Amino acid sequence: MEYLNFERINAIGIVKINRPQALNALNREVIDELDGLLDLIERDKTISVLIVGSSNHFAAGADIRSMIYLSESEARAFAFTATMDRLSNLEIPTIAAIEGFALGGGLELALACDLRIASKTAKMGLPEINLGIMPGAGGTIRTPRLVGMARAKELILLGEMIDAGRAEQIGLVNKVAEPEQLMESAMIWAEKLSQKAPTALKTAKSTIHAGLDCSDLHEAIMLEADNWAGLFHTEDQKEGMMAFIEKRKPIYKGK
Ligand code: CO8
């Protein structure tokens, strides 16, 4: 891969965008590489958590140079909505470790992750409006779900950057870390997650997503009840409860 670095530490996968000449702006090649990596992660059942990070800057948006002369149909083909959706719907939990700029499509990449940790010095925003466009890879959809409609409109319509403290205050990121402790903070959460029952994590994540997509509260509650009961088919549930009774750490198999 030219634009992504991928490494594994035990069951934790860490992908870092590496296109420093354009502040990690996302062009088609970066997204195609990310798609390929998602194929690998979906197949490799030994990876239990994914951290999405970078060096210096998370990503300063979609690549503006690649977009200037796109026609409507070319813009549709350039858009990376499908890849963001794949990331969002990965069965394993994902953590964005945000440093530097996370703007436009870059912030949308972070929004497609389950959890977000930002360096104290990170700057985030959805500045597409300043380029005569709007967010197009989940920004107008995921932001209001995270921070509420009023704050989402503030970010999207004014197109101004916010700092990490404000992002934490409005719930755009889960927590803020000192710059030198960003990856360590992400690893601490990743290690904790890698010790949970994969079947329960996967089901909890998909139930949260399905619940948010469901406009009927009763239907959503019934779906939760079904998914909850479904976990009693799994070995992980038996192991989790038995380990509690036997006062030992559970050993999950993801089955
Ligand atoms: N695309 C292409 N190149 C970029 C981008 C970008 N998004 N951001 C920075 N760069 C390049 C600059 O052009 C510059 O290159 P060069 O040295 O060759 O001139 C280099 O990175 C360094 O940037 P600056 O000199 O501008 O650095 P500064 O520290 O002065 O400023 C900023 C940093 C504030 C981040 C500034 O670069 C900036 O405003 N960048 C653009 C941010 C932006 O508008 N992002 C949104 C892009 S649109 C988008 O993301 C649409 C998403 C929709 C997704 C749907 C599917 C595609």
Q: To the nearest 5 percent, what fractions of the chain are helix, strand and coil?
A: 55, 15, 30
Q: Which of 200, 191, 188 is nearest to 233 (CA)?
A: 200
User: For residue 208, what is the domain's CATH number?
Assistant: 1.10.12.10
What token pair was written down for 38?
């998602």
Q: Which residues line ligand 1 (CB under 6 A)?
A: 22-23, 25, 60-65, 78-80, 101, 103-105, 127-128, 131, 135-137
Residue 61 alpha carbon, nearest atom of ligand 1: 50
pLDDT tens, N- to C-terminus, the chain (255 residues): 899 999 999 999 999 999 999 999 999 999 999 999 999 999 999 999 999 999 899 999 999 999 999 999 999 988 899 999 999 999 999 999 999 999 999 999 999 999 999 999 999 999 999 999 999 999 999 999 999 999 999 999 999 999 999 999 999 999 999 999 999 999 999 999 999 999 999 999 999 999 999 999 999 999 999 999 999 999 999 999 999 999 999 999 999
Which residue out of 17, 18, 19, 23 has the highest number of ligand 1 atoms within 8 Å of its CB and is therefore the one to mutate?
23
The catalytic residue positions are 108, 128
Together in a domain, 213 and 125: no
List, for residues 43-75, the tens digit of each pLDDT value. Answer: 999 999 999 999 899 999 999 999 999 999 999
Together in a domain, 236 and 142: no
Distance of CA 101 from the midpoint of ligand 1 (Å):
9
The rounded distance, in Å, linking the Cα atoms of 113 and 91 is 11
Q: In this structure, is residue 254 part of a structural domain?
A: no
Closest C-alpha to ligand 1, atom 37: 60
Query: Cβ distance 173 to 117 under 8 Å?
Result: yes
Q: In this structure, is residue 255 part of a structural domain?
A: no
Together in a domain, 69 and 84: yes
Q: Which of 100, 131, 125 is nearest to 111 (CA)?
A: 125
Query: Cβ distance 7 to 53 under 8 Å?
Result: no
Please tell me the total count of domains within the chain. 2
Together in a domain, 45 and 151: yes
Burial 85-94 (b: 16+ CB within 10 A, else e): ebbbebbbbb
Together in a domain, 28 and 106: yes
Q: Domain residues for 164?
A: 4-194
Between the CA of residue 202 and those of 35, 88, 142, what are the distances in Å? 20, 12, 19
Closest C-alpha to ligand 1, atom 13: 22
Q: In this structure, is residue 185 part of a structural domain?
A: yes
Separation of first and last alpha carbons in the chain: 32
